[in-house]
Structure formats: C-alpha cells, structure tokens
Amino acid sequence: MFDPLNPRNPPDDARKHAPATERNRGPILEVLRRVLPPQGLVLEVASGTGQHAVAFAQALPGLIWQPSDPDPDLRASTRAWAVSVGVPNLRDPLDLNAAAADWPIDRADAVVCINMIHIAPWTAALGLFAGAARLLPAGAPLLLYGPFRRDGGHTAPSNAEFDASLKARNPAWGVRDLGEVGRAATGFTLSEVVEMPANNLTVLLRRR
C-alpha cells in the first residue's frame, strides 16, 4: 500500500499513498452521492491512508465524515492529509477495530467500509455488521466496496488470483462470498449491488 521510497513524501510527512484510492474514488463517489443522506454523520471503517476520507469529505460538504482505522500510522496519515488539504467537515480519525465489541462512537447516519472485509479475518466482517447495526437507525445505509465471490465462484480470474495471494499471506483472509455476506449481516437488508471497475462491487445494505 505504501512505498517508503515514494519521492512525493518528504521525510517528516506522514501522508501515505494508496494508488488504488486514486483510481476507485471517482466511481465510489458516484454511488455515495446517490445513496448517502444529504446531511448527517458518515462513519468510515478502515480508512487506511485517509485519501478516500479527504476526497469524500471535500466532495460531500453537507456530511460530516468520520474516518477510523486501528493502525496508528494510518490514522497519522489521515491527519496529515487532512491538514494538507484543510477539510472542515472531516473529523479526527478514531481508533476503531471493527471486530471489537465496543466501538468509540455510538451513532452514525451511514457506515462506509472500503476494501477491508477480505483483508481481515471474517470476525472483522461480523464485527462490522454488529457495530453498524448498533449505530444506524432504520433505513440507514451500510456500504461495502471490494471484490466478492458470487454463488461460491469468482467473478474474474484476477479475483481468483487475488484471493489465492490473500490466503497465502493470511489463511484467515480471502475474497468473501456475497451470499454469505448477506446472510451474516443480520439486521440489514441487501438492497443493491453495483458493479464497479476492475471486477469490484459496491454492496448496499440497509438497516432494517
């Protein structure tokens, strides 16, 4: 995700660069504009570098964007991006582990989680569904973005290769099956699946 030799970063700059965020933020933003409420608080789980948080907070000024990540270096990166850009509706990132029973936030109007549930144990996905269910009012959206299997099979050879590489890094990781996600997200209705570039999906769940 982060190239320490990246010449864009001077030594005292905590900003990390995830090039994929620059490719996928436009298509994701199109979906966010359509399904997020015009106002309210959006919790982003697993914000990573913070590049999405900065871009989405800038593009959606009616919303308050709350980033979070369990990794302190990534929270520092999010802070550094926020300072460099200056986004008034972007909150300081929270230390939030999706798998934890307690989250450091008790309400939100939407939850967004990009590229996390396949790069974490399944318990993180289960914790995400439980935590989002605690926070969200009826009808509110939980958005997931990433690669998914459908009906037990991969949607593209590149996703099968990616899945194998994830499992080689950590056997608890792997591309999740959309049907299993829908069944595990108790308290939510699977409302929409949007096909995204590079064989990814945005999955819209709504709190019952």
Ligand X SMILES: C[S@@+](CC[C@H](N)C(=O)[O-])C[C@H]1O[C@@H](n2cnc3c(N)ncnc32)[C@H](O)[C@@H]1O
User: By the criterion CB under 6 A, which residues form the site for ligand X?
Assistant: 18, 21, 45-49, 52, 69-71, 74, 97-99, 114-116, 119-120, 124
127 phi and psi, to 5 degrees?
-65, -35
Distance from the first to the final alpha carbon of the chain: 35
Token pair 């194998």 is found at: 164
Closest to ligand X by CB, 46 or 80: 46
Closest to ligand X by CB, 28 or 64: 28
For residue 107 the two structure tokens come to 């309400």
Closest to ligand X by CB, 63 or 120: 120
| Euclidean distance between CA atoms 36 and 180, whole angstroms | 24
Closest to ligand X by CB, 19 or 139: 19
Residue nearest to ligand X (CB): 48
Least gap, CB of 34 to ligand X (angstroms) = 19
Token pair 């798998």 is found at: 99
Least gap, CB of 117 to ligand X (angstroms) = 9
Sign, CA dihedral 150-135-31-91, equals: negative
